[in-house]
A = this chain, B = another copy of it.
Amino acid sequence: MDAAALPIARVAADVAPRAALSIYPEPYASLMRGRVKRQLGDAFGLKNFGVNLTRLEPGAMSALRHAHAKQDEFVYILEGTATLVTDEGRTPLRPGMCAGFPAGTGNAHHLTNESDQDVVYLEIGDRTPGDSAVWPDDDLQVIEIDGKRRFAHLDGRPY
């Protein structure tokens, strides 16, 4: 990004939503319907971490439940009540509450919106190279095929 073209500040809700629904293969990509991400960090040319303003409609989820090997993640709830699901169970997260997910613990997490109101939150994740992730509830893994990282079933068949 041309430094001269960088904004000084933005109204977060005015940043255009990300066009792509999800990087997951089907049938998982469709499960991300009702999730809208505004990539605030990218809007300022940040490289080391991402900050998204994410809205979950009723019934939507933040991601499949997952754990990162090298990248930390953090969420801060701005509106509505999310349900945080971790290995410990289900925890309601209300506005002003936050949760952090340090890399390498193996404790998988995601947010779901089980309410009848939208949930809006900030999510932060760094971009440490060489990361990997696990999805303990789903038939999903990332494997290397011909030197490229691909989503695959747990039995090794690529999606």
User: Which residues does A use to contact B, with CB under 8 Å?
Assistant: 3, 6, 8-13, 40-41, 43-49, 51, 71-72, 74, 76, 84, 86, 88, 91, 93, 96-103, 105, 107, 122, 124, 126, 128
A159 to chain B, nearest CB (A): 29
| A101-B44 contact given A8-B84, A84-B8, A126-B126, CB 8 Å threshold | yes
**Cβ contacts under 8 Å, A43 to chain B:** 100
**Cβ contacts under 8 Å, A40 to chain B:** 74, 76, 98, 100
**Cβ contacts under 8 Å, A103 to chain B:** 47-48
**Cβ contacts under 8 Å, A3 to chain B:** 102, 105, 107
**Cβ contacts under 8 Å, A72 to chain B:** 41, 46-49
**CA A100 to CA B51, docked complex, whole Å:** 10
Determine whether the beta carbon of B51 is less than 8 Å from that of A91: no
Partner of A88, one of B8, B47, B97: B8
